[in-house]
A = this chain, B = another copy of it.
Amino acid sequence: MDDPTAVLDRMWAVVPAGGAGTRLWPLSRAGEPKFLLDLTGAGRTLLQQTVDRLVPLVGGRVMVVTGARHADAVRRQLPELGAEDVVAEPSPRDSMAAIGLAAAILERREPEALLGSFAADHVIGGAEAFRACVAEAALVADTGRIVTIGIEPTHASTAFGYLRVGAPLPGFRTAREVVSFVEKPDAETARRYLAGGEHRWNGGMFVSRAGVLLDELAREHPGLADGLRTIAAEPERLDELWPGLTRIAIDHAVAEPAAARGMVATVPGSFGWDDIGDFASLAGLLPEDAGRRGVKVLGPADLVHVRDSTGVVVAHDRPIVVLGLDDVVVVDAGDALLVTDLAHAQDVKAAVELLKDAGRADLT
């Protein structure tokens, strides 16, 4: 087994910062996606919290890959990052291109580099447990496997994909083989997964050697791997080559085929984790205010006045009074207002369509 410190000294944290978060409209917008927002009231944005969580593990070795329109905002939020370490995608080409480009750049810088990929807009509770988990994943990854963090399910969620875990990996503390990746299940299947104990949530966090990731990609999608390695070698060709890259998620491009060949391992994570997919998820994450039992508040709490109500209220700059509503979702974003309930949290995406249809794409 490798020396953990030596392995971590070769590891980069890659943070793909994309996705509009349309289910969190009107907080999250195309022009201001959720990773740029402080959605937990912590005083740091999700992106900043993601980096804060990784720095103790990887020091300054952090690379953010984001859309060109957000690169300046990312640099402003993370002034400590080097100019080369904020990579701007000319257009969205899904997670494989984003993470793969980082892998190709790192592979050129340091052939033995490992990379861990961590979404910019997830919330994690228990930073120590998270880092212990990633450190073990790095050790496993250094042996040539692709390692994914498998989150211990706390409920029968139908909103996440799952991993089916197999036998323990000899020589590691908690790592196990991954038998397969499973798409978001229906409620009955999710309950079975939870009861059975053989499934974990796929948190979308991967650790591997940069070279292994690209070699695996080359096996399935040689054109994409080649394009990414070419861009890393000749950065001036980014705008020329990028639009021709295959749009595909890293799970489908690499993780699933590699799992089928027994190359994927998982390290179980029992820390709190959430992708804040919608307002129901956000409500679950916000702390409860002693003075407002059952109502979670984001924003200036002194503006929120509730009576006989439960749910989540996002205040901006004016008082909000809520009377007699259960599981309500009230979001004041200043220039737009959303009122719905937790049961319709997933439908908020439709609100964005409603506004586009009404000619108000400027608000989405």
Contact = CB atoms under 8 A, between A and B. Distances in A.
Interface of A: 25-26, 302, 305, 307-308, 318-325, 328, 330, 332, 334-341, 343-344, 347-348, 350-351, 354-355, 358, 360, 363
A351 B308 CA distance: 11
A339 to B, nearest CB: 5
Given A323-B344, A344-B323, A307 B337 contact: no
Contacts of A336: 318-321
A354 B320 CA distance: 11
Contacts of A320: 336-339
B318 A337 contact: yes
A347 B323 CA distance: 8
A25 B321 CA distance: 10
Contact of A338 (B323, B338, B344, B347): B323
Given A307-B350, A350-B307, A358-B305, A323 B340 contact: yes
Give the copy number: 2
A328 B318 contact: no
Contacts of A341: 324-325
Given A323-B350, A328-B339, 10 more contacts: A308-B344, A318-B334, A318-B335, A319-B335, A320-B338, A321-B338, A322-B338, A323-B340, A324-B344, A330-B339
Contact of A325 (B302, B339, B350, B354): B339
B350 A319 contact: no
Contact of A354 (B321, B330, B358): B321
- For A322, A323, A336, which residue has the most chain B Cβ atoms within 10 angstroms? A323
Nearest to A320: B337
Which of A25, A26, A308, A339 gathers most chain B CB within 10 Å? A339
A318 to B, nearest CB: 5
Given A328-B339, A339-B325, A341-B325, A351 B307 contact: yes
26 contacts: A26-B321, A302-B358, A305-B355, A307-B347, A307-B350, A318-B334, A318-B335, A319-B335, A319-B336, A319-B360, A319-B363, A320-B338, A321-B336, A321-B339, A321-B340, A321-B351, A321-B354, A321-B355, A322-B338, A323-B340, A324-B347, A325-B344, A330-B337, A330-B339, A332-B337, A337-B337
